[in-house]
């Protein structure tokens, strides 16, 4: 369905559900299969970018925007373009925002690609990004303060869907004057004597756990300094010679004369990243964002990704 070409069958299903107060009762009184009514209403909500109904066990109740739509839309097909534009502006004025939590490497190209497509398809939706550790980001999803989390690994969270999206190889970022800066590759084991500088947010906790797991041995633990600072501050410390860090392959796009990025020679040193969201989260904008994630993931990965509970 092209933009604003809203099929009257979809509009009729919305009006029927509003009149009868539930998808089931609308289906019983019209002999239209309930699955058809639900599919058409969801399709219209996805196109509009906002929910028309609040679904409960007792039935379906129009949202505030849904009431406005049902009041305005039947006036005529020629007015539908104006109605949708007005409601999208109303949505923005109400301050509704899709909240993303991320514990990914800074500048992850996958997320940049997703947000570019989402912005093009749903220009009226606002995005807010909160960068935390994987544990904190998942906790925010469970509590409902975040709509979807992008985290390392493929966590099994009760009451949530998880969808693996992309994989990044681990690279070493070090100052251009570092003795190993001219190397083509380097193994994790060769880094035991180094000082690692990591963020306290984002993927810092996941990298910390990786280093402890790979380099610790009886009587030895790697020297790791955690900073409550952004990626730019960490890179400033690295270029000044205070230590090194690990980054994802998205960092290859970063060009800076004072630091260099070297691949790890160890095979299979990669991080998988996944999206995590609550099963009962009903938000058309979120659904469209996840659809874009799946499309881009299936295009870039050889193994298809599917949500799991």
In a domain, 67, yes or no: yes
Q: Render pLDDT for 35-83 as a digit per residue (tens, 0 to 9).
A: 999 999 998 888 888 889 998 888 899 998 888 888 777 665 455 555 5
Question: Which DSSP symbol is given to 192?
Answer: T
Residue 105 pLDDT level (bands cut at 50, 70, 90): low
Say how far apart CA 72 and CA 15 lie, in whole Å. 11
Say how far apart CA 108 and CA 192 lie, in whole Å. 27
Say how far apart CA 10 and CA 38 lie, in whole Å. 10
Domain span including residue 287: 97-166+271-300
154 & 230 share domain: no
Q: Is residue 174 within 8 Å of 240, Cβ to Cβ?
A: no
What's the pTM value of the predicted model, to 2 decimals? 0.61
pLDDT over threshold 60, residue 228: yes
288 & 215 share domain: no
In a domain, 307, yes or no: no
174 & 255 share domain: yes
159 & 189 share domain: no
Q: Which of 145, 113, 107, 143 is nearest to 128 (CA)?
A: 145
216 & 288 share domain: no
Question: Which CATH number does the domain housing residue 147 bear?
Answer: 3.40.190.10
Question: Which CATH number does the domain housing residue 43 bear?
Answer: 1.10.10.10
157 & 184 share domain: no
260 & 198 share domain: yes
In a domain, 3, yes or no: no
In a domain, 187, yes or no: yes
Label residue 193 left, alpha or beta by phi (over 0 means left) and psi (-120 to 50 means alpha): alpha
Q: Render pLDDT for 253-291 as a digit per residue (tens, 0 to 9).
A: 666 778 888 888 887 788 888 999 999 887 788 888 999
- Total domains, the chain: 3
Say how far apart CA 63 and CA 72 lie, in whole Å. 14
Average pLDDT, the chain: 81
Say how far apart CA 276 and CA 154 lie, in whole Å. 9
pLDDT over threshold 90, residue 248: no
In a domain, 2, yes or no: no
């Amino acid at each position: 369905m092209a933009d604003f070409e809203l099929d009257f069958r979809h509009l009729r299903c919305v009006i029927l559900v509003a009149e009868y107060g539930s998808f089931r009762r609308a289906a019983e009184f019209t002999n239209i299969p309930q699955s058809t009514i639900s599919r058409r209403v969801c399709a219209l909500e996805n196109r509009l970018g906002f929910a028309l109904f609040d679904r409960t066990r007792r039935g379906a109740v129009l949202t505030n925007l849904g009431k406005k739509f049902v009041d305005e839309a039947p006036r005529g097909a020629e007015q539908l373009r104006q109605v949708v534009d007005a409601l999208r502006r109303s949505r923005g004025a109400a301050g509704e925002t899709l909240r993303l939590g991320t514990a990914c490497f800074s500048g992850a190209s996958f997320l940049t690609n997703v947000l570019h497509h989402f912005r093009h398809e749903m220009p009226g939706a606002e995005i807010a990004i909160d960068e935390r550790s994987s544990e904190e980001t998942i906790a925010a999803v469970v509590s409902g303060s975040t709509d979807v989390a992008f985290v390392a690994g493929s966590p099994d969270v009760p009451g949530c869907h998880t969808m693996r999206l992309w994989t990044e190889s681990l690279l070493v970022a070090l100052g251009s004057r570092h003795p190993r800066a001219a190397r083509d590759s380097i193994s994790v084991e060769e880094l035991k004597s180094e000082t690692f500088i990591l963020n306290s947010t984002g993927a810092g906790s996941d990298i910390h756990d990786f280093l402890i797991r790979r380099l610790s041995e009886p009587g030895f633990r790697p020297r790791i300094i955690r900073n409550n600072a952004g990626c730019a501050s960490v890179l400033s410390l690295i270029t000044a010679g205070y230590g090194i860090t690990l980054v994802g392959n998205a960092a290859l796009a970063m060009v800076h004369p004072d630091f260099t990025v070297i691949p790890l020679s160890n095979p299979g040193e990669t991080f998988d990243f996944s999206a995590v969201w609550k099963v009962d989260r009903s938000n058309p904008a979120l659904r469209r964002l996840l659809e874009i994630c799946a499309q881009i993931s299936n295009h870039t990965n050889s193994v298809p990704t599917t949500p799991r509970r």
